Structure 1
Amino acid sequence: MTTLPEARDFDVSADWHVADPYPFLARLRRESPVFWSEHLRAWVLTRYADVRAAYGDPRRFSSLGSLTISRSLTDATREKLGEHGSFLSSFVANVDPPVHTRLRRSVSRAFTPRAVAAMEDAFRRLNEDLLDRVVPRGAADFVAELGHEPSVKLTARFIGVPEADEAFVQARVKEWFQLFLSPQPPERQLELAGGFLTYLDYVDRLVAARAKDPRDDFTSLMTALIGDELTHREVVELISTILLGGNDTVPNQLGNTVLRLLREGAWPVPPQLIGNAAEECMRIDGASLGSFRHTTEDVVLHGVTIPAGALVLLSTDSAGHDESVFPEPERFLIDRPNAADHLVFGYGIHFCVGAALGRLQLRTALEVLGRRLPGLRLAPGERVTYRRSLVGRGPAALPVEW
């Protein structure tokens, strides 16, 4: 699928936008690198240098409130959510220093190199166990049956979610995503809001339980900091959002990656190239499309004035295809020398604290899947469809055979 030639704006409700926005983004980089989107009601930075510089300039491009993308919520939905309509207001990626510095210091305790490395064997076993069950069938929907379960289970163990609650959490996280980060009709918003409040109540009770009975998990580690370094609400939001990454962002990136490798005839990936192949797939088909910021003062770029207080999308999707950084950006090069220079994980003080774990999961899944399913292929005649979202891309279904 290719972008319609007449496309003039971002449109997350259109098939071309979620499946193949790259010709549109290339035109913006050439003709309008600082672009006003009526659809998003935001300015969009599309060139790599500008996106990277904005990430590195938290004074002028503030993260405060940048993740609370709830402008599309109806008054009735806002009323139902009450104080939680501003959910994420104290999440680490949604605040500026000095609050950001304090929150990141606390969260980083759980993502040390040793802690991340220790999760590799667990994640490999989860993938092996899943394939033991699925391989004999000879076919599956990669999204529903292969891509999500290992990451969901690893994240649940990391957080401290009991195995019996994994399906509940996965369903609630899906509603979380749809409510805040995907356009929904009014009736559906109210339904999703109810599920979201149930989810918050669950996380709140998990934090309270760990305060009374600490265990070897992230929730206990963060709960122990309440009162000295963190507030109760900050801990609830940290847990809720890490669950989103493990239940949604990482599996979506794996789906994008496998789809790209199959279409390029690059499956299975030689073991020595898996790391670079993962980076190239993140560059060319990132699951994260960018980050929102608010300007704190007038910013002039390429002769365009972005006014103070404006919402700005830093398009990492476009930056990853910038010709000035990645020659022949639409061409998949499994050994591209600078593939890891993409900005999918952000840059600067807001570089994703879980990036090392996300990369480890992607590499490990590709290694296990390639070894166990060397004949993996797209199911003939099946159409790949994508989810609709303001900030992420991933296939809604991906039928495969082997």
Structure 2
Amino acid sequence: MASLFRASREHRSEAIHVISRTRSQKAAHSACSTCPLAMSPPDGLACSPVESFISSGPRTSIDSNFSDLSISSSLSELHPHFLPTPTPTPNACSLVRQALPDEHASFLRKVLKKLRPGQPLPARKVRHLGRGGVGEVHLMELDLPDGGRLQLAQKAIVCRRYNASRHAREVAAMEIAAACPFVLRVYGSSHPGKAPYALYTEFAPLGSLHDLIERRRSAGGGPGGGRAPYFDEQEVRWLAARVLTALTHIHHLGMVHRDVSPHNIYRAASGHPLLADFDAAELVDAEGLVYGSAGRIATAAPEVRAAAYGGGSYGTKADMWGLGAVMLEMVSEQQVSDGPRLEGCSEELRNLLLEGLLVPQHKRLDSSSAMHHPFFGGVDWHDLEFEEAPPGLRDEEL
């Protein structure tokens, strides 16, 4: 799937009709074969982190053996370019997550293929995990043939505006992004032809980054003792570098997430962040733009809020505002509108937030440029998935 969106802008513009609502007629006629969002690798790297994730080598998706079931077969009928890519070799050395055993993956694949339209996965609900804008999330347990139990999360859609097309777009967006280890894995979905709809993903046992921020605020945790900053700069850098890698990856594929917030950054058992909730994701057109509003308007970039009221377009830099807002919430009680001063933060962090990310889009850093910022100096972009989380991010569980 990922190779489709690297191949040419012409193919991407055709695919927009399947998983995105294109607003530019020129996109369907573009013949340029280069990616409009091509990025230069950080200094000293033979290739960018994104290129290492989307290559056919061993650093691809941990659970990529689900590439043939996460996208419904109906997508192939809607568009001939939606064909599953060959299964790459999973990377068993990553600390982000463990790959599912082959026998468990095979069993889950068979169960999902047998689902009828509107039929949920035959698994037990263990507990309620949360509620989002379009549905609820539950922890589920599926009995395995060997007597074990497989835990996974079910996103049950309860929004009337969520239809078959929107369901297919969300699953497709998650599968396209799945080659990056810092994106939440989608295992499969309910049949797209009939409501109710459901997504089945990996279970992130440490909850969301929002949960952690609230817990430190109420319990007096973090370097501020219950007051900002809630995270020391080592923790901010460690988390932000991995979210930035996920954003760089999806931007390189021509996608804008459009809802980057602490609520949509989950935490694996290892403490690594996982970018989630691709319901608002869109593919850019031939000019690298998307249209319309999405996500939480209160925390959206200025250009996204403007699009909600007066139309207009924007690009991948909208996600970089979201990253800046996430980092600001980790270290300050102040909002962007307050003109935060960030006392106690390093000059590098203040500069990144107040002069690099939380600024008008024409001044804002893109994901590639942000990697070069001094705040991320010393980050080994090749080894992010092999590094253990700082102790405070590993031990603070729900």
TM above 0.5, yes or no, is no
Band the TM-score falls in, shorter-chain normalisation: under 0.3
Structure with more of its chain in helix, by fraction: 1
Higher relative contact order (CA 8 A, sep 6+): 1
TM-score by length of 2: 0.27
